[in-house]
């Protein structure tokens, strides 16, 4: 499995991690999370495409690219979690294993943040564990990928 690639996509404002509301999102920067994720992915036998965009269409393009090139997908849709039918449709069309990821527990946040429109198109959700959630998502994705190949 050493050459199997996973896409880990990050949505809007995640480039501001470490600065934006650290009491909610933590003090780790996206670069910190990327370094930790690449290390864990390698330990799990994955290559990792780690990307961030504030643009909805770019994320849709990357989901479609992942479906064509990757063994699995992890996505932190950021604010698009609650609003993006386009991202929902792209995730629903993708046949690879998919996990939605959130740093905070969206179910304990403001009412408008408690509903994920994208959740119905993924295999599972990890939320509320902060930066370590990225490691958990990679480990869960490993299990999903293995269950589909055995």
Q: Taking the CA atoms of the chain, what radius of gyration do you get in angstroms?
A: 14
SS3 10: strand
**Choice among 7, 25, 80, 134 that is catalytic:** 25
Can 27 be counted among the known catalytic residues? no
Out of 7, 80, 102, 134, which one is annotated catalytic? 102
Residues in the chain, how many? 150
User: Is there a catalytic annotation at residue 102?
Assistant: yes
Which string of DSSP letters, residue by residue, matches 108-141? GS-GGGS--SSGGGSSEEEESS-THHHHHHHHHH
Give the span between the Cα atoms of 143 and 24, in whole angstroms.
Answer: 29
List beta partners, residue 10.
52, 76
Residue 143's alpha-carbon distances to 44, 50, 54, 147, 150, in angstroms, are 10, 19, 29, 6, 11
The residues assigned a catalytic role are 25, 102
């Amino acid at each position: 499995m050493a050459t199997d690639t996973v896409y880990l996509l990050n949505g809007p404002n995640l480039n501001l991690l470490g600065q934006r509301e650290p009491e909610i999102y933590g003090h780790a920067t996206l670069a910190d999370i990327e370094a930790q994720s690449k290390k864990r992915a390698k330990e799990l036998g994955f290559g990792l495409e780690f990307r961030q965009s504030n643009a909805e269409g770019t994320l849709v393009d990357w989901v479609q690219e992942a479906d064509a090139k990757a063994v699995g997908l992890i996505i932190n849709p950021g604010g698009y979690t609650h609003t993006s039918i386009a991202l929902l449709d792209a995730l629903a069309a993708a046949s690879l294993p998919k996990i939605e990821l959130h740093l905070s527990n969206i179910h304990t946040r403001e009412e408008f943040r408690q509903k994920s429109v994208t959740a119905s198109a993924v295999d599972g959700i990890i939320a509320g564990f902060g930066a370590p959630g990225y490691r958990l998502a990679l480990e869960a994705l490993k299990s999903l990928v293995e269950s589909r190949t055995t």
